Amino acid sequence: MVLHFLIQGRVQGVGFRWFVHREASELELRGWVRNTEDGDVEVVASGATDDLGELRASLRRGPRGSRVDRVIEQHLDEKEAEGLESFTIEGAW
């Protein structure tokens, strides 16, 4: 299963991408996380349904210092998972 999440709220400048990376890596999901220009965080994750459910719960909770107002979720076609490697943070330096 492949899911796309858009997380809105106070999610930039609070370690949200690193939080997502740690959670997704522990679940052995493939995909990426990045900040958007609009101040949101975007996630694409591929893996088992149960593991994606655990990630979803983590995204709704967020790290300390964040405030998650909304999580928008979309199912993506399985072909979107082609080329996804171990979970990465995009745009991190």
- Per-residue pLDDT of 39-91, as tens digits, reads 999 999 999 999 999 999 999 999 999 999 999 999 999 998 898 989 999 98
Question: In the Cβ-directed half-sphere of 60, how many Cα atoms lie within 13 Å?
Answer: 8
Instruction: Reply yes or no on whether 35 is catalytic.
Output: yes
Q: Which residue in 10, 17, 30, 70 is the catalytic one? A: 17
CA distance 46 to 67: 25
Q: pTM of the full predicted structure? A: 0.94
The CATH number covering residue 68 comes to 3.30.70.100
- Domain of 46, in residue numbers: 2-77
Instruction: Reply yes or no on whether 64 is catalytic.
Output: no
Our CA angle for 67, 69, 73, nearest 5°, is 120
Question: In the Cβ-directed half-sphere of 65, how many Cα atoms lie within 13 Å?
Answer: 7
In this predicted structure, the answer to whether residue 92 has a pLDDT above a threshold of 70 is no
Q: Is residue 87 part of a domain?
A: no
Q: Which residue in 34, 35, 56, 70 is the catalytic one? A: 35
